[in-house]
Amino acid sequence: MSSKPGDHTKKYPKGYYRGVGFALGMGIGTAFGLAMDNLAAGIAIGAAIGIALSSGLEKKYNSKS
């Protein structure tokens, strides 16, 4: 196996990272929401963070063919 760490040669379909980031953000947001006793705000914050980070990942890895 000749792939190096950080060598991201596999292409994923458009929106893949966005879905993954959204799901992870919702999970983390739920934990924050429970800790703050405000579940709705925690989920919203987690979703926003997940979408923001996943947009950057999608742009980074899927920008060049």
Q: What is the pLDDT of residues 22-55, one digit of tens each?
A: 999 999 999 999 999 999 999 999 999 999 999 8
| pLDDT confidence of residue 62 | 74
pLDDT higher at 39 or 65: 39
| pLDDT tens per residue across span 6-16 | 655 677 788 88
Q: Examine the pLDDT at 58 and tell me if it is beyond 90.
A: no
- Cα angle, residue 9 at apex, residues 13 and 49 outer, rounded to 5°: 55
Q: CA-CA distance, 35 to 61, in Å (whole number)?
A: 34
* Verdict on whether the full-model pTM lies above 0.75: no
| pLDDT confidence of residue 17 | 86
Three-state secondary structure call for residue 4:
coil
CA–CA distances in Å: residue 37 to residues 30, 31, 47, 64: 10, 10, 17, 43
